[in-house]
Homo-oligomer: A and B are copies of this chain.
């Protein structure tokens, strides 16, 4: 059993319902990618809002999130030009560990790489000046994690597993409706965020200890125009059907009529990040 800590978030595929153009959608997804990255979110689930088909916006969100997470030096090789990526110039850089590479690799360094054929040989682009000789099971066009075995020319790398002790970006996963997703979860701690939830300050001590104990935590958010309560209702479920989940109001006495999804995400993760470290 791995003792890796996993922090995941779950957002509805209607997350872009309040943005009517690609520019606005791109900016919003950029904010989500940043919030996830600051707090080391490893997995972003995008669940189905069953009131209608949001597949198109799901694809937009997924593509922009993945673009944002891909190290800059690999984007050209790995991501084909798509109209959904027209405004990626607006995305703020994530500046997470695996994005920060020097042109000259160091012995033992771990990097993300893209595999391609050069003079009939499968080599790895690791953002250096030359392609590296690659040993591993990957195929051309794939992104893999490698370790630099030799930093001198010819640079040699071999494939390794994603490192667990350092934040190595997030992956995007499709999920069914929120109710089905919650039933299928194997997380130790599930947090539902809702204006109608319990005020976080009243149960902070329990929550703080659960956050510290949990190896796998998922934090779920409602849609820009529909809270988690209603989201479950439309699937003939309710919050109390999930008694092990914590349903929390993290914005007590909010002064605006609503808190936007991207704001709720950043604020919630900021609070949980501190709460986890409070010892009572």
Residue interface bits A263-274, CB-to-B below 8 A is 1, else 0? 100111111011
Q: Assess the B263–A251 pair: CB atoms within 8 A.
A: no
Q: Is A260 an interface residue (CB 8 A)?
A: yes
Pair A263/B266 contact, Cβ less than 8 Å: yes
Is there an interface contact between B258 and A95, defined as CB atoms closer than 8 Å?
Answer: yes
Q: Contact check, A273 vs B252: say whether CB atoms are below 8 A apart.
A: yes
Known: A266-B266, A271-B274. 8 other contacts (CB 8 A): A38-B251, A95-B257, A95-B258, A100-B257, A202-B277, A252-B274, A267-B270, A274-B275
Min CB distance A112 to B, Å, is 15
State in angstroms the CA–CA spacing of A65 and B127 once bound together: 41
Instruction: State A94–B257 Cα separation when bound (angstroms).
Output: 8
Q: What sequence of 0s and 1s flags, for each residue 24-64 of chain A, a beta carbon within 8 Å of any chain B beta carbon?
A: 10010001001101111000000000000000000000000
Chain B: which residue is nearest A258 at the CB level? B95
Number of copies: 2
Task: List, in ascending order, chain B residues with CB within 8 A of A253's CB.
Answer: 40, 273
A90 to chain B, nearest CB (A): 8
When distances are taken between beta carbons in the complex, the residues of chain B under 8 Å from A92 are: 260
| Contact residues in B for A199 (Cβ distance below 8 Å) | 277
Task: State the Cβ distance, A38 to closest chain B Cβ, in Å.
Answer: 5
CA distance A200 to B279 in the complex (A): 12
9 of the cross-chain contacts (CB-CB < 8 Å) are A24-B90, A38-B255, A38-B259, A38-B263, A97-B255, A201-B274, A201-B278, A252-B277, A268-B270
User: A259 CA to B273 CA in the complex, in Å?
Assistant: 14
- Judging by beta carbons under 8 Å apart, are A39 and B274 in contact? no
A256–B37 contact, CB under 8 A? yes
Q: Are B263 and A34 in contact (CB under 8 A)?
A: yes
A181 an interface residue at 8 Å Cβ cutoff?
Answer: no
A96 proximal to B (CB < 8 A): yes
Determine whether A132 belongs to the interface, using a CB cutoff of 8 Å to chain B.
no
Residues of B within 8 A of A73 (CB): none
A37 to chain B: which residues have CB within 8 Å?
255-256
Across the interface, name the chain B residue whose C-beta is closest to A27: B27
Q: Closest residue of chain B to A269, judged by CB? A: B267
A80 within 8 A of B: no
